[in-house]
Each structure stands twice: as structure tokens, then as C-alpha cells.
């Protein structure tokens, strides 16, 4: 049900870039997080961002989700300029992008089903029934079909994160941003979440940008791995090569520490 | 000396006054609860042209006694019904306090909730109504309740602008029958009987909403 989505296929031209960062700078006061960053992500590509903490990986996702504004440079999404838009157009452009957060951020005042139907009803204008049907399909996909009428606070972290994934997918985004989605989970709950994401990566053509410390997962789903350090991409390549024979010394050190 | 006969005679009048007191408290609270929310939300407006004047009004109203405000409006708007003036002024005065309560509740909603709303492209109005306010208000219901009790106990101020609330009626009955002790004892007892269980209820509510 995720793949046969005609709306998504027509709105997107076949071979083009999903995301372009062009000389993007992000500073907080004197501190430069991203330093004239250039990179592209093709449509349907799965890209994993790795690197030491503080290297700007999460900032990239937050810029794409418009939770932060660029200091300099241009971000394009689906070939359209994305940074510096007025709030109204920004809200429209944002619909193409979904995000899953480290802390899940489910709405505790709504049941699981309502968490998922909220945006499709309020933003896409779906009827309650349509949205509920979509939500139930997605809950099925993430293995939580029986939790529709439960409040999120009653779920484990892993279950909450799977609901958060379903909630993001309910908007049928072209691009899914995954920000350390397993970092806040107890170790025994990590696998369930990663399995769900693997299934989604296999069953859909959604573009994924993923910040993670789960190198096994990165190897499984990524088409390309970008190594960040000091606000720049210092090395990139397919996961097989990046993990087995990294060229850059910083990459070797980093992988040596986490693998 | 305490006279049961006089006390019994005065009771209906004082109870009638209590009805007015309750009405003033209920409607005044309604004004305070709605207006306080509006002020709290506007206090988060992106432009300072909304925030700064609002701040000035809040500070002005909070720094002057409610009794002076009642007098001022009563004198400046002679045509208006005193009870209406009382409800509006009490409500307005308390809205300044409830707005602070709401503000604290809104600040306590984690940033991740706002960010999730952005990530789902929810429009601002829906973010407020559907996500932020339900969580913020839930946390502050007991604090709001305590302000309602406080307002209830300040309704006797309305007697200075001739509203026939309970203390006004007790005073009237006391002077007509020279029975101040009976009249004010009854009024005080009614206040106690009404506010004590209510504040107990608030404390219980606080515990229940805590998790």
C-alpha cells in the first residue's frame, strides 16, 4: 500500500535530485556547525550520515525539516529552493518531508490512531475514515495493529518509535529523515524498530536520510554513507567500501571506535 | 449575645446574597479563564507590536488593587449595572494571573511537541488547539482552580460598588436588626463551607493530573 501511491509518482520527475545542499553554512553565534557544505541526494536514495557527535549531522536533518534556518547558502528539495521561503510556502514545501525523532515526540494527549490521522486530516484534508484506514494499514506494517486505541504513554519506547514512523509515513512524504531513531531505546527494543525501517526501505522508493550509530543497519539499507567531520563531508561512498576500506584517517578512527 | 431567632431570620437574605456571590464568581472566572488563555497565547505572538502593549496592560492591571479598579470603572461608567462591572473587572483582574498560569503551562510543553507539529506540517492554529493547549491546560487546571477560589473570597469587594452579594446583604441585615455578630458569622461560615471542600477537591485533582 505504500508503493502504489499515484500521487507521489506523478509529483516527482523520474531522475532528479531529492535534496541539494549548495554551500550551506550554519552558525550558532561564533560556532560554525556546517561549513560551506555541498552534497546531493538522488530521489529514492538511502543515505546515512555518520561522524562524531557535534559534526553537524543532526543539524542537516533539522535544516531540511525547517526546524532551523540556514545562515548562508541554498537548500533545494525536489529541485525547488527550500531555504528562505516565507512561512506559508514553507509549510507547503515541508509536506514532502517527514521526520522521525530520537525522542519519538508522539502527542500524549491523543490515542495512537489519532496521532497518525491528525496530519492527514488537518493538512491533507482526508476524511476521518480514509485517514483511519491509512493509519490502520500503517500500524499493521509496524506490527502494532492492536494498539490503535491506546494512549502512547502506555507503550514501550520501541513501540512509540514505531508509531512515530507510522505517523511520519501517513503523510506519504517523498523524503524521510531519521534522526538517531534508536538512540533513546533500551538495547532489546532497537532491533524491532530497525526491522520496521528495513521493511519500509525494501517496500517503498522513499528517499531516506538517516543519522545513526547503528552501523549494521547503515550497511544494510544505505546506498551511500557520508562521513562528516568539522561541518563538512570528508568522505563518501557505498557502505561496503566505507566500512571495509575507508580512505580518510578520520573515518578509520571513527569507525574503529564504533564498530 | 448570639440569638438563634435573629440568625434564622437573616439566613434567607444572606443566602440570596450568596447566590449573587456564586454568580459573580462563576461568570468572573469564565472571563478570567478565557481571557487569560487569549493573553497567554498572544504573549507568544511573533511580533513585538502585540507582545509589548500586552505586557504593559498586564503589568498595569496587576499593580493596582482590584478595589480601586472596581471604583474607577463604576465612577467612569455610571450607566452600567454594578454586578456587570463587578464581573468584568474581577474577571479582567484575575485574567492577568491566569495568563501567567497558562504561560507556565505552555512553557512546560516540551519543544519536541512543537517540532513534531512542524514535521507534520500542522498549521499554527491546529498546533495550538490540537497539541499544545490540551497538554498545557491539563497541567494548570489545579492552579486555575485555586484562583477561582481566591476570586470567590474577593467578591465582598463588590459591595463597595453596591452589588448585593453576600457580605453586602449580611451588613445590611446586621445594621437593620443590630445583629452584626449573627449576620457576619453566618456569612463567614458559608464562605468556609464553600471554599474548604473546593480547595480539597483541587488538591485531589492536582494529584490525579500529576501523572
pLDDT digits (tens, 9 = 90+) for A155-206: 999 999 999 999 999 999 999 999 999 999 999 999 999 999 999 999 999 9
The Cα A40–Cα A241 span in angstroms is: 19
Cα A42–chain centre separation: 14
Residue B122 is predicted with a pLDDT of: 94
ipTM score assigned to the predicted complex: 0.90
SS3 label, residue A209:
strand
Query: Given pLDDT bands bounded at 50, 70 and 90, which one contains residue B46?
Result: confident
Cα distances from B72 to residues B31, B66, B154, in angstroms, run 19, 10, 17
Q: Band the pLDDT of A15: cuts 50, 70, 90.
A: low
What's the pLDDT score for residue B201?
87
Q: Which residues of B183-204 are buried (b: 16+ CB within 10 A; e: fewer)?
A: bbebbeebbeebeeeeeeebee
* B contact test, residue of A65, A108, A173 with most B CBs within 10 A: A108
B21 burial type by CB count under 10 A (0-12 exposed, 13-18 middle, 19+ buried): buried
Burial tier of A118 (Cβ tally within 10 Å: 0-12, 13-18, 19+): buried
- Give the Cβ contact number of residue B12 at 10 Å: 11
Identify the CATH number of the domain defined by range B4-209.
1.10.3720.10
Give the residue from A67, A57, A167 showing the smallest Cα distance to B114. A67
C-alpha distances out from residue B89 to A65, A79, B29, B77, Å: 45, 57, 11, 12
Q: What percent of chain B has pLDDT over 90?
A: 73
Tens digit of pLDDT for each residue in A50-60? 998 878 899 99
- Selected residue of B105, B118, B119, B124 to mutate for chain A interface (largest A Cβ count, 10 A): B119
Q: Measured between CB atoms, which of B116, B123, B135 is closest to A105?
A: B116
Distance (Å, whole) CA B146 – CA B152: 10
Query: DSSP label at A83?
Result: T
Which residues of chain A have a Cβ shorter than 8 Å from any chain B Cβ? 65-67, 91-92, 94-95, 97-99, 101, 103, 105-110, 118-119, 122-123, 167-168, 171
Rounded Cα–Cα distance for residues B151 and B194 (Å): 13
Q: What angle do CA A18, A19, A23 make, to 5 degrees?
A: 155
Phi and psi based region of residue A172 (left: phi greater than 0; alpha: psi -120 to 50; beta: remaining): left
Residue A123: its chain B contacts at CB < 8 A? 120-123
Q: For residue A44, is pLDDT > 90? A: yes
User: What is the residue-wise DSSP string for chain B?
Assistant: ---HHHHHHHHHHHHHHHHHHHHHHHHHHHHHHHHHHHHHHHTT-SSHHHHHHHHHHHHHHHHS-HHHHHHHHHHH-TTS-HHHHHHHHHHHHHHHHHHHHHHHHHHTS-HHHHHHHHHTT--HHHIIIIIIHHHHHHHHHHHHHHHHHHHHHHGGGGGGGT---HHHHHHHHHHHHT-HHHHHHHHHHHHHHHHHHHHHHHHHHHHHHT-
Q: Which residue among A67, A97, A107 places its CB closest to the CB of B131? A: A107
Beta carbons of A107 and B118 less than 8 Å apart: no
**Segment B163-181 mean pLDDT:** 91
What cell does A133 get?
A: 484506514
Within 8 A of B116 by CB-CB distance, chain A residues are 101, 105-107
Which of B118, B120, B135 faces A108 most closely, judged by CB atoms?
A: B135
CB atoms within 10 A of CB B152: 21
| Backbone angles phi and psi of A211, in degrees to 5 | -105, 120
Q: Domain ranges in chain A?
A: 43-67+88-258
Residue entry with cell 491546529: B126
Give the whole-angstrom CA distance, residue B15 versus residue A173. Answer: 64
Residues 6+ apart with CB under 8 A from A29: none
Judged by average pLDDT, the poorest of A53-57, A130-134, A251-255, B8-12 is A53-57
Give pLDDT, residue A91. 82
Contact B135, B112 (CB under 8 A): no
Which band of pLDDT confidence, cut at 50, 70 and 90, is reported for residue A1? very low
Q: What is the mean pLDDT of residues A22-48?
A: 93
Q: What is the pLDDT, as a whole number, of residue B211?
A: 58
Between residues A21 and A14, the one the model is more confident about: A21
Cα A213 to Cα A190: distance, rounded to the nearest angstrom: 12
- For B119-139, what is the mean pLDDT? 95
pTM above 0.90, yes or no: no
Q: Is A218 helix (H, G, I), strand (E, B) or coil?
A: helix
Does A91 sit within 8 Å of B131, measured CB to CB? no
What is the DSSP-derived secondary structure letter of residue A23? E
Predicted pLDDT of residue A9: 43
A31-40, A85-94, A240-249: the lowest-pLDDT one: A85-94
CA distance A143 to A244: 34
Q: What value does the mean pLDDT of chain A take? A: 90
Give mean pLDDT, residues B102-126. Answer: 96
Q: Copy the grid coordinates of residue B108.
A: 512546560
Residues on chain A touching B110 (C-beta within 8 angstroms): 103, 105
Q: Residue A24: is it exposed, middle or buried by C-beta count within 10 angstroms (0-12/13-18/19+)? A: buried
The nearest CA of chain A is from the CA of B53 a distance in Å of 25
Tell me which fold the domain A43-67+88-258 belongs to.
Rossmann fold (3.40.50)
pLDDT exceeds cutoff 90 at A102: yes
What is the per-residue pLDDT for A14?
52
Q: Return the residue in B108, B116, B135 with the most chain A beta carbons within 10 A, the one to mutate for interface testing.
A: B116
Alpha helices by DSSP H, listed for chain A, are: 6-11, 57-64, 87-94, 112-122, 128-141, 157-169, 187-203, 215-221, 239-244, 249-258
CB atoms within 10 A of CB A133: 14
Judged by CB atoms closer than 8 Å, whether chains meet at A101 and B135 is answered as no
Helices A187-203 and A157-169 cross at an angle (nearest 10°) of: 20
Max Cα–Cα distance, chain A, nearest Å: 55
Instruction: Give pLDDT, residue B84.
Output: 95
Amino acid at each position: 500500500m505504500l508503493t502504489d501511491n499515484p500521487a507521489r509518482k506523478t509529483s516527482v520527475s523520474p531522475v532528479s535530485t531529492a535534496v541539494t545542499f549548495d554551500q550551506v553554512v550554519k552558525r550558532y553565534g561564533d560556532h560554525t556547525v556546517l561549513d560551506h557544505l555541498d552534497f546531493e541526494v538522488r530521489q529514492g536514495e538511502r543515505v546515512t550520515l555518520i561522524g562524531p557527535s557535534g559534526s553537524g549531522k543532526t543539524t542537516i536533518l533539522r535544516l531540511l525539516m525547517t526546524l532551523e534556518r540556514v545562515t548562508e547558502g541554498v537548500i533545494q528539495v525536489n529541485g525547488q529552493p527550500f531555504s528562505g521561503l516565507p512561512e506559508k510556502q514553507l509549510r507547503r514545501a515541508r509536506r514532502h518531508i517527514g521526520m522521525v525523532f530520537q525522542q519519538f515526540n508522539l502527542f500524549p494527549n491523543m490515542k495512537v490512531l489519532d496521532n497518525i490521522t491528525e496530519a492527514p486530516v488537518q493538512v491533507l484534508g482526508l476524511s476521518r475514515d480514509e485517514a483511519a484506514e491509512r493509519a490502520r494499514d500503517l500500524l499493521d506494517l509496524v506490527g502494532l495493529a492492536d494498539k490503535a486505541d491506546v494512549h502512547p504513554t502506555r507503550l514501550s519506547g520501541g513501540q512509540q518509535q514505531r508509531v512515530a514512523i507510522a505517523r511520519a509515513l501517513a503523510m506519504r512524504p517523498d523524503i524521510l529523515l531519521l534522526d538517531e531513531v534508536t538512540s533513546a531505546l533500551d538495547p532489546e527494543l532497537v532491533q524491532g524498530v530497525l526491522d520496521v525501517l528495513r521493511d519500509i526501505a525494501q517496500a517503498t522508493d522513499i528517499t531516506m536520510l538517516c543519522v545513526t550509530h547503528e552501523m549494521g543497519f547503515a550497511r544494510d539499507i544505505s546506498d551511500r554513507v557520508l562521513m562528516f567531520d568539522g561541518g563538512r563531508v570528508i568522505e563518501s561512498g557505498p557502505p561496503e567500501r566505507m566500512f571495509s576500506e575507508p580512505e580518510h584517517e578520520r573515518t578509520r578512527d571513527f569507525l574503529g571506535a564504533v564498530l | 449575645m448570639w440569638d438563634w431567632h435573629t440568625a434564622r431570620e437573616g439566613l434567607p437574605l444572606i443566602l440570596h446574597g450568596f447566590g449573587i456571590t456564586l454568580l459573580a464568581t462563576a461568570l468572573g472566572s469564565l472571563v478570567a479563564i478565557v481571557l487569560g488563555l487569549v493573553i497567554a497565547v498572544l504573549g507568544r505572538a511573533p511580533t513585538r507590536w502585540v507582545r509589548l502593549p500586552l505586557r504593559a496592560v498586564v503589568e498595569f492591571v496587576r499593580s493596582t488593587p482590584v478595589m480601586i479598579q472596581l471604583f474607577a470603572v463604576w465612577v467612569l461608567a455610571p450607566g452600567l449595572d454594578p454586578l456587570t462591572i463587578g464581573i468584568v473587572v474581577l474577571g479582567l483582574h484575575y485574567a492577568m494571573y491566569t495568563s501567567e498560569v497558562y504561560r507556565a503551562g505552555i512553557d512546560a510543553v516540551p519543544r519536541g511537541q512543537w517540532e513534531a507539529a512542524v514535521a507534520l506540517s500542522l498549521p499554527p492554529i491546529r498546533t495550538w488547539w490540537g497539541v499544545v493547549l490540551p497538554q498545557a491546560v491539563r497541567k494548570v487546571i489545579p492552579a486555575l482552580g485555586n484562583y477561582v477560589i481566591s476570586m470567590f473570597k474577593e467578591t465582598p469587594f463588590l459591595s463597595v460598588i453596591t452589588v448585593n452579594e453576600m457580605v453586602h446583604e449580611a451588613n445590611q441585615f446586621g445594621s437593620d436588626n443590630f445583629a452584626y455578630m449573627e449576620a457576619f458569622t453566618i456569612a463567614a461560615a458559608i464562605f468556609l463551607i464553600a471554599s474548604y471542600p473546593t480547595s480539597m477537591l483541587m488538591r485531589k485533582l492536582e494529584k490525579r493530573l500529576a501523572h
